[in-house]
């Protein structure tokens, strides 16, 4: 099998920008980082991946000089900028970056997406040869994420990127650093190539494990047969003569020794077999989530909005939508449009400065639950992760542990109190609590925040198979495309429903734009034909009638072809 490097990027073609040696970071009894050597060269495009709590943010901060390691050293040969995962930005960048990312002035009440825009604009404005980015798409809307993708793709320096956005990793990274058990393995390739390599490794590991089991079983069977043969050899009968008895005893002893020696040889072969471990497999969920109490009626929820405003600013007006039972509906729209405010209004959890005129009529059979961006408030910090998950569920403990394991919260971690869990572990606990609840209608607001890329992929699988009704907001393109069966767009203060997938909606919008372009082209040709006809009927000085007629006939043919193409 191909090997994955475990030290540093072997890139001698570019200038060395950073060298880290013997990096160690210890929290209590746990060694989070123990990395012998890492190097970053000019033009390196590195994706840093790992599970929640593996230490990705800590490693970035150490490499960027924001934190010191417990042991080891980092030598930076150039200036570096850092897009942090959270917090405010002291500045919001130069004028060009401010305009590009439409940053708001630093003030109280900025949304998560607005704060992210400021952090991104400030870091990119520094134009350093090295850029660290820790979940830079957090809370960004589609337009903000598009601008970030464009800027990162054209960024001329070296990049180290932590992101759960698989498309962002795929577009921007040509080297993968996988942080696991405190160490970094370096893979020279894209994220998708790394995933394929992991798949091949798991398949080969499964093959080796099956071969090991089969050979061990064969040898154990042969050894048992030898022992049975040894025990079946008959001793000399009591009435047998002395000479015959001695001969039989000698033959008996030789036979037993031979079979015992053979059994010992087989045992030695079993002991020398190289032990192969069973590859870790995702546990299967015995029941279909969200199907305990199905809504038999056609409609699970009807929402009418006469007006929704926050802080005196009207966000939505004169709009309505329904959720068909069993549908998976994505609510999309730009930052600040009012998506989160709408979800909280539907759930009856509006803030004091929010005014909602309208109604959210749930079907009487609907049992709903809201997972919002302040999901930690729903957890009891004194109870364990497992206890929190089971608090609103009739599911069995085995099912709860299975869902937690699918979300990469495994083993003894489920018995930790919520108060000592990391932000990512709390998000997993809150998601498992919602998915395993007795609800048949789930409202999710940015469920991917704080999740690592592996957990995001697992959540995507769980939501695709969810048997109840979903209404969710997410900025993750992959999750939206994979899980939404219909889309509600929030644009210009109105809610517009699309009965189909996100990809289908975008394809239709592309077709609309193409039709608009065709219609504009037809209009321009018709206008030019009219102008030529006018000049032909009343030629101006210097006009050549034959040239005008030639132009007219050529345009008329183009118009005919364009109309025929439009009919097709």
pLDDT tens digits for range 352-379: 899 999 999 999 999 999 998 777 788 9
Rounded to 10°, the helix 423-435/397-406 angle is 130
Query: Stretch 429-449: mean pLDDT, rounded?
Result: 91
> CA-CA distances (angstroms) from residue 82 to 38, 155, 161?
18, 14, 10
Give 213 or 60, the one with higher predicted confidence.
Answer: 60
Residue 137 near residue 163, CB atoms below 8 Å: yes
What is the per-residue pLDDT for 23? 95
pLDDT band of 85, cuts 50, 70, 90: confident
Question: d(Cα 496, Cα 507) in Å, to the nearest integer?
Answer: 16
Mean pLDDT of 247-268: 61
Check residue 284 and give its pLDDT: 55
DSSP H or E segment with residue 80: strand 80-83
Question: Could you tell me the maximum CA-CA distance found in the chain, to the nearest angstrom?
Answer: 144
Confidence of residue 2 (pLDDT cuts 50, 70, 90): very low
**What six digits make up the tokens of 504?**
């289908």
Q: How far apart are CA 189 and CA 476, in angstroms?
A: 23
The domain locations on the chain are 16-189, 199-272, 299-500, 506-567
Handedness of CA 498, 501, 502, 508 (dihedral sign): negative
Phi-psi region of 228 (alpha: psi -120 to 50; beta: other; left: phi over 0): alpha
Q: Is the model more confident about 92 or about 168? A: 168
How far is the first Cα of the chain from the last one, in angstroms, to the nearest whole number? 52
Please give the order of strands across the beta sheet that includes 30-41: 30-41, 16-27, 71-76
**Selection from 194-203, 357-366, 514-523 with the highest mean pLDDT:** 357-366
List the single range of 17-26, 67-76, 235-244 with lowest mean pLDDT.
235-244
What pLDDT does 45 receive? 95
Q: Do domains 16-189 and 299-500 have the same CATH topology?
A: yes
pLDDT value of position 315: 94
Residue of 291 and 315 predicted with greater confidence: 315
For domain 299-500, is the CATH number 3.40.50.300? Answer: yes
Residue 4 has pLDDT above 70, yes or no: no
Which numeric CATH code is attached to 16-189?
Answer: 3.40.50.300
Stated pTM of the model: 0.70
């Amino acid at each position: 099998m191909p090997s994955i490097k475990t030290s540093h990027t072997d890139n001698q073609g570019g200038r060395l920008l950073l060298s880290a040696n013997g990096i160690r970071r210890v929290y209590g009894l746990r060694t989070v980082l123990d990395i012998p050597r890492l190097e970053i060269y000019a033009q390196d495009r590195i994706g840093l991946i790992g599970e929640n709590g593996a230490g990705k943010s800590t490693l970035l901060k150490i490499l960027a000089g924001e934190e010191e390691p417990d042991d080891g050293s980092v030598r930076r040969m150039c200036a570096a900028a850092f897009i942090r995962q959270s917090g405010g930005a002291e500045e919001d960048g130069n004028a060009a970056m401010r305009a590009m990312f439409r940053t708001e002035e630093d003030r109280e009440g900025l949304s998560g997406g607005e704060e992210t825009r400021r952090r991104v604009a400030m870091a990119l404005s520094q134009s350093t040869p090295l850029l660290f980015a820790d979940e830079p798409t957090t809370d960004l809307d589609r337009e903000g994420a598009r601008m970030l993708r464009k800027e990162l793709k054209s960024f001329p320096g070296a990049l180290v990127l932590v992101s759960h956005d698989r498309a962002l990793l795929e577009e921007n990274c040509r080297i993968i650093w996988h942080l696991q058990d405190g160490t970094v393995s370096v893979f020279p390739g894209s994220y998708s190539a790394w995933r394929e390599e992991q798949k091949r490794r798991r398949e080969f590991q499964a093959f080796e494990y099956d071969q090991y089991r089969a050979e061990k079983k064969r040898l154990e069977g042969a050894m048992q047969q030898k022992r049975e043969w040894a025990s079946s050899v008959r001793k000399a009968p009591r009435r047998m003569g002395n000479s015959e008895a001695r001969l039989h005893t000698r033959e008996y002893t030789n036979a037993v020794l031979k079979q015992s020696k053979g059994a010992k040889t087989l045992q030695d072969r079993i002991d020398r077999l190289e032990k192969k471990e069973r590859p870790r497999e995702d546990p299967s969920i015995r029941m279909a989530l969200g199907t305990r109490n199905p809504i038999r009626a056609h409609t699970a929820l009807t929402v009418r909005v006469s007006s929704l405003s926050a802080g005196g600013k009207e966000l939505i007006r004169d709009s309505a939508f329904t959720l068909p039972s069993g549908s998976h509906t994505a609510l999309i729209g730009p930052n600040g449009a009012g998506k989160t405010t709408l979800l909280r209004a539907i759930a009856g959890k509006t803030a004091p400065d929010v005014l909602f005129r309208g109604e959210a009529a749930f079907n009487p059979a609907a049992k709903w639950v809201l997972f919002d961006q302040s999901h930690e408030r729903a957890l009891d910090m004194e109870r364990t992760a497992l206890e929190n998950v089971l608090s609103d569920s009739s599911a069995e403990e085995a099912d709860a542990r299975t869902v937690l394991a699918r979300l990469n919260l495994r083993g003894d971690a489920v018995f930790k109190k919520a108060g000592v869990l990391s932000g990512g572990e709390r998000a997993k606990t809150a998601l498992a609590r919602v998915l395993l609840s007795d609800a048949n209608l789930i409202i999710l607001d940015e469920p991917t925040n704080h999740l690592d890329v592996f957990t995001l992929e697992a959540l995507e699988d769980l939501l695709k198979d969810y048997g109840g009704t979903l209404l969710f907001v997410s900025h993750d393109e992959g999750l939206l495309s994979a899980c939404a069966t219909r889309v509600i767009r929030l644009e210009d203060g109105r809610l517009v429903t699309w009965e189909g997938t996100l990809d289908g909606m975008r394809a239709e919008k592309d077709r609309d734009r193409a039709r608009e372009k065709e219609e504009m082209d037809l209009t321009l040709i018709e206008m030019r034909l009219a102008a030529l006809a006018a000049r032909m009927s009343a030629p101006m000085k210097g006009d050549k009638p034959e040239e005008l007629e030639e132009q007219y006939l050529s345009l008329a043919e183009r118009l005919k072809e364009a109309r025929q193409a439009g009919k097709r």
